[in-house]
Amino acid sequence: MMSAEIFFITTAIDYTNAPPHIGHAYEKVLADVIARWHRDRGRPVFFLTGVDQHGQKVQQSAERAGVPPAEFAREITAKFKALWVKLGIANDGWAETTDLRHVAAVQDVLRQLHDQGDLYKARHSGHYSVRQEQFLTDKERNEQGEFGPEWGEVVFLEEENWYFRLSKYRPWLAEYLAAHPEFVTPAFRGTELANAVAKEAGDLCISRPKSRLAWGIELPFDRDYVTYVWFDALMNYATFAGYRARDGAGLPDFESLWPCDAHVIGKDILVPAHGIYWPVMLKAAGIEAMPKLLVHGWWNLGGAKVSKSAGNIIDPDVLADRYGTDALRYYLMRDIATGQDADFNEDRLRTRYQADLANDLGNLVNRTVSMAHRYRGGVLAEVGVTDAEAFALRELGIEAARNFDTAMEDGFRVHAALESAWLLITAANAHVEKSAPWKLAKDPAEAARLDGVLVALVEAARLASALVHPVIPAAADTLLEQLGFSGDLSTQWGRVRAGHRLGQAAPVFPRLESQES
Ligand code: MSP
């Protein structure tokens, strides 16, 4: 499934016009889980993420705050960065679009497109959405013939601007999509894109006059203009992967990374930005290998879109403080199906924490380690599979590991992967109840059977902890340590050796205080 030796993951870069919310956190955790899953299986990964610092939205927010846009973007950038550290996002590369290495590369591409005749200047008058930073056509009108609220403030503008000959590349894109169904995951989003490509016509306005918007990258061939924020921002995926970078710039080797194997974006920015502009920009710049887009759905609140103007922002920073990073990561991965939307609900987060993490996984490890200490002084005997039930648990473990990886390979369905791991956890807890080690311990004739039960439970708990490690890395590390398997992320069954020594049991998922809500 990998097109290069290094699995290259990237995410949409976040606007620095407002602090991060739960939707941003979800996307970063999803990408991080994919990255960690590859690393845990021993595959090299380069994970890039970052911030989109230019454009009208940022300029407007800065004006409202009464600070220069650079300063405003810097402050919001610091908030994103701190949150990613707190949420355990282990990215390898970091993109900031005000970075001069990026600016130089974007100008270089613009110069090339200009020189090869892909850009032209024209006068245009029409409706312009301030929020979406684009001219609107009749196609964007709703059934009532109006521009809906999603476009925000719409003004009438007449302007001379630079245009990119998108229409010239349209037939190529349509053919590419038909021949490469793997370009977009899930497939229904690919169909949506193909339909849009068949409909959409016209070229792309890639400039904004400085008189109206100064906060952007200057066109290298016309100093009165900056480039459209999307043209600038989309290029980050290549520039921070080393595209057109100078030696010694501290960026990766583009040839060994490109293209992205998992390019993680939300459903709102597939058409037209990532599904149309982006591949056409790459093609026009001379890059033939295209990324693979993974399009996720949205977290809503009470069925409504999470937005600052609706006043229903959920602060992931507060949630991480209240429940812990791993609890938040787990909820965000478990209660949404990749590609679909979900409704955020803090009660569900609490329930999942209590039921899945504390009662199922936490309890399995805790009782396993405690029993090993109580009955065997924390040291296990080497035993093969002793009875039919332990054999069944082993079979289940092997199947869980296989199903976990299949779910990840097939559309990064993290929720389904977690379900597989939980089948094993549930079965292991049932095995405790059924084999009742506390009874076996009382009967010397059952000593071998008790050894077998303990070994099977340690195996199951270790394997489950290793499987969930990409989702709840800190907790999984602690669980593995308690099981005496620090740093062992193998997903094979059968790691216990004669004389295996367990660590000490301690609660990893403390009970929630009832007054917290
Ligand atoms: N800056 C552009 C992307 C440029 S990429 C060259 C942008 N930024 S954003 O901050 O508005 O969104 C960043 C990412 O967060 C997008 O992938 C978007 O889909 C995602 N989400 C924003 N709100 C979301 C939810 N409520 N739920 C899930 N993801 C959402 O778009």
Q: Report the C-alpha gap between 467 and 189 in whole angstroms.
A: 29
Atom of ligand 1 at shortest distance to CA of 278? 6
Distance 150 CA to ligand 1 centre (A): 15
The pLDDT of residue 105 is 98
Ligand 1 atom 21: residue of nearest CA: 23
* Mean pLDDT lowest among 145-149, 200-204, 218-222: 200-204
Buried b (16+ CB within 10 A) or exposed e, 46-73: bbbbbbbbbbbbbbbbbeeeeeebeebb
- Say what the pTM is: 0.96
The structural domains of the chain, with segments of one domain joined by +, span: 7-296, 345-515
Give the H or E element holding residue 57: helix 56-65
| Ligand 1 pocket, residues with Cβ under 6 angstroms | 12-15, 23-24, 26-27, 52, 233-234, 265-266, 268-269, 298-299, 306
The pLDDT of residue 252 is 97
Residue 478 above 80 pLDDT?
A: yes
Atom of ligand 1 at shortest distance to CA of 236? 6
Nearest to 33 by CA among 328, 434, 372, 273: 328
Q: At what angle do helices 414-435 and 388-409 cross, to 10 degrees?
A: 170
Q: Candidates 11, 14, 270: which one to mutate for ligand 1, based on the most atoms within 8 Å of Cβ?
A: 14
Residue 60 above 90 pLDDT?
A: yes
Distance 27 CA to ligand 1 centre (A): 8
Q: Report the C-alpha gap between 248 and 252 in whole angstroms.
A: 10
The pLDDT of residue 139 is 83
pLDDT digits (tens, 9 = 90+) for 260-274: 999 999 999 999 999
CATH architecture of 7-296: 3-Layer(aba) Sandwich (3.40)
The pLDDT of residue 150 is 86
Residue with tokens 């090993």: 372
Nearest to 365 by CA among 511, 488, 498, 480: 480
Q: Candidates 28, 29, 52: which one to mutate for ligand 1, based on the most atoms within 8 Å of Cβ?
A: 52
pLDDT digits (tens, 9 = 90+) for 233-256: 999 999 999 999 999 999 999 999
Ligand 1 atom 29: residue of nearest CA: 23
Distance 295 CA to ligand 1 centre (A): 11
Q: Report the C-alpha gap between 141 and 215 in whole angstroms.
A: 29
**Radius of gyration for the alpha carbons in the chain, expressed in angstroms and rounded:** 26
Distance 266 CA to ligand 1 centre (A): 6
Ligand 1 atom 5: residue of nearest CA: 12
The pLDDT of residue 386 is 65
Q: Candidates 269, 271, 313: which one to mutate for ligand 1, based on the most atoms within 8 Å of Cβ?
A: 269
Ligand 1 atom 18: residue of nearest CA: 266
Distance 506 CA to ligand 1 centre (A): 39
Residue 3 above 70 pLDDT?
A: no
pLDDT digits (tens, 9 = 90+) for 386-399: 677 788 999 999 99
Residue 333 above 50 pLDDT?
A: yes
The pLDDT of residue 423 is 98
The domain defined by 345-515 carries CATH number 3.30.420.40: no
Q: At what angle do helices 69-86 and 56-65 cross, to 10 degrees?
A: 100
DSSP SS3 for 169: helix
- Other Cβ atoms closer than 10 A to 304: 10
Residue 230 above 90 pLDDT?
A: yes
The pLDDT of residue 40 is 98
Atom of ligand 1 at shortest distance to CA of 24? 15
Atom of ligand 1 at shortest distance to CA of 297? 28
Q: Which residue has the higher pLDDT, 311 or 163?
A: 163
Atom of ligand 1 at shortest distance to CA of 265? 17
The pLDDT of residue 133 is 78
CA distances (Å), origin 254, targets 42, 244, 280: 22, 8, 19
CA distances (Å), origin 328, targets 29, 163, 331, 516: 10, 44, 5, 15
Instruction: Tell me phi and psi for residue 137, to 5 degrees.
Output: -120, 180
Distance 24 CA to ligand 1 centre (A): 6
CA distances (Å), origin 1, targets 6, 182, 195, 258, 452: 12, 11, 27, 15, 38
Residue 385: pLDDT band (50, 70, 90) is: low
What percent of the chain is modeled with pLDDT above 70? Answer: 97
Contacts of residue 377, Cβ cutoff 8 Å, sequence gap at least 6: none
From the centroid of its chain, how far is CA 182? 19
Ligand 1 atom 25: residue of nearest CA: 23
Strand 293-296 with 14-15, pairing = unpaired
Distance 282 CA to ligand 1 centre (A): 21
Contacts of residue 76, Cβ cutoff 8 Å, sequence gap at least 6: 16, 17, 18, 19, 51
The pLDDT of residue 503 is 98
- Helical H segments across 316-411, by residue range: 316-323, 325-334, 346-352, 363-376, 388-409
